[in-house]
Structure 1
Amino acid sequence: MNPSLDMLNRQFALPGALHFVNGSGDLPVVEIQTPLASARVALQGAHLLAWQPAGATPVIWLSQAAMFAPGTPVRGGVPVCWPWFGARDGLPAHGFVRTRMWQVRAASTDETGQVVLRLGLQDDADTRALWDHAFDLELVLTVGTTLGMTLISRNTGDQPFTLTDALHTYFCVADIERTTVQGLDGCDYLDKVQNFAWARQSGPVEFADETDRIYVDTTADCLIEDQVQRRSIRVSKRGSSSTVVWNPWRDKVFADMAAGEYQQMLCVETCNAGPDQVNLTPGQSHVLTAHISL
């Protein structure tokens, strides 16, 4: 059941900075607007839909054909993939938290005028039917001239568990064929287009066809160089030793992605994926952080 917008606004709204509205598909959405930046966050999936520093063009890409409905993942923005990344037979792709309703835990502004939003999710009978572990998951979004996303995984049970996860960030670019990603030169990667064959990156990542790669053993910043807009987007991270770079190109058809939209999007994902896994014993936690700046 969706929380009441009136109740959310009474408890968490920040006058002149943050309020809750009824979004597409009747899903509650947090709208953030400050002198520093604007952002939109769906409570289903704790899904960042938009972030735009003041005076800048949009940084986060959202498909024109994205579907908004209870239990349906949204194409674009920043899906939270947890407790597994990728496909699993008979189970939801990229885990189950991106289609569940999260709770608002806190909203505030810091001394610099940034909005700090804390959203949380815990195990219940439905999650245990898919993944039989006790957990607490929290996403902290810090919205200003830069964007901070911190995903905190806690093992609240009495058994260890292993997870993979991602902040599956979709970025706006003007033309994918005139876009490169710097920072991965010399890194080994698993090429999902070539049946997970191992390869090594030489120079910047360039795009001329479908690209779907898990770069391993890398904690480096990535720079998305958008030649048309003459801007660089920096993706810094902590708690992650793999980076996924993805663009589906023209031959892949998605019901929730308009024709030709692949030309204006690029995923550079902060993650623990492939051979990079997180092991948590009872009481342990893991912190995955992505920091986006222009």
Structure 2
Amino acid sequence: MPLNIVHDKDGLPRIILTEPTGSSAEVLLYGGQVVSWKNERREELLFMSSKSFWKPPKAIRGGIPVCFPQFGNLGLLEQHGFARNRFWSLDEDASPLPPANNQSTVDLILKSTEEDIKAWPRGFELRLRISISPGKLTLIPRVRNVDNKAFSFMFALRNYLSVSDIRFSQ
């Protein structure tokens, strides 16, 4: 299916994925972040904080942010790393995984920049495939070392699910 790229009211480019039964997902190029996932009844399944600041260089609170190359404050970088605060690109050299029927997919890539290498001296490519199909949202990350030495990293997809009722019952 062709990609539908729009600019939201804050000017951030986003990709809207849809599939024939009515499910949809919205993915920002800023942070490679899924900010909406709706089922076939158009019910929002992800939580987005009303306190989110939708302008770089701040991370957006909610949805499914990408944490790389560290999670939390378990390293020397900013909390959850820098991937969620960078603009990603459409991956023109995506993996040849075969698409499933009734699936809408976008492939994104984040490559290390001079700014990244100053903070974390490693050369990398971080790819993220985001697919929506009936009743299902799939995210497949891949990290490629383009450096001449091995490195360690942390990776997390920190999902914020929307919950209609959180009452605790015993």
Q: TM-score, normalised by structure 1?
A: 0.52
Counterpart code for 1:161: F
Aligned mates of 1:32, 1:89 — CA distance in 2: 34
Root-mean-square deviation over aligned CA pairs: 2.2
Aligned residue for 2:5? 20
Aligned mates of 1:104, 1:24 — CA distance in 2: 21
The 5 A counterparts of 1:266-277 are none
Aligned residue for 1:130? 119
Query: What's the offset of the Cα at 1:111?
Result: 4.5
Cα distance 1:58–1:130, how it changes in 2: closer, same or farther (>3 A)? same
The 5 A counterparts of 1:1-294 are 14=2, 18-36=3-21, 37-55=23-41, 57-87=43-73, 91-105=77-91, 110-145=99-134, 146-178=136-168
Preserved contact between residue 80 and residue 168 of structure 1 (Cα < 8 Å): yes
Aligned mates of 1:177, 1:91 — CA distance in 2: 37
Aligned mates of 2:73, 2:167 — CA distance in 1: 28
Unaligned runs of 5+ in 1: 1-12, 180-205, 207-294
Unaligned runs of 5+ in 2: none
Which string of whole-angstrom CA distances, capped at 9 and with x for unpartnered residues, describes residues 72-109 of structure 1? 100100000000000157631100010100011159x9
SS in 1 for 2:10: helix
Q: How many residues align?
A: 164
Aligned mates of 2:79, 2:13 — CA distance in 1: 23
Aligned mates of 2:146, 2:58 — CA distance in 1: 27
SS in 2 for 1:127: helix
Aligned mates of 2:159, 2:110 — CA distance in 1: 20
Q: Which is richer in strand?
A: 1
Highest CA radius of gyration, 1 or 2? 1
Preserved contact between residue 24 and residue 68 of structure 1 (Cα < 8 Å): no
Counterpart code for 1:66: S
Which string of whole-angstrom CA distances, capped at 9 and with x for unpartnered residues, describes residues 145-191 of structure 1? 20111110111111111111100000011122349xxxxxxxxxxxx
Q: TM-score, normalised by structure 2?
A: 0.87
Aligned mates of 2:161, 2:100 — CA distance in 1: 28
Higher relative contact order (CA 8 A, sep 6+): 2
Counterpart code for 1:122: K
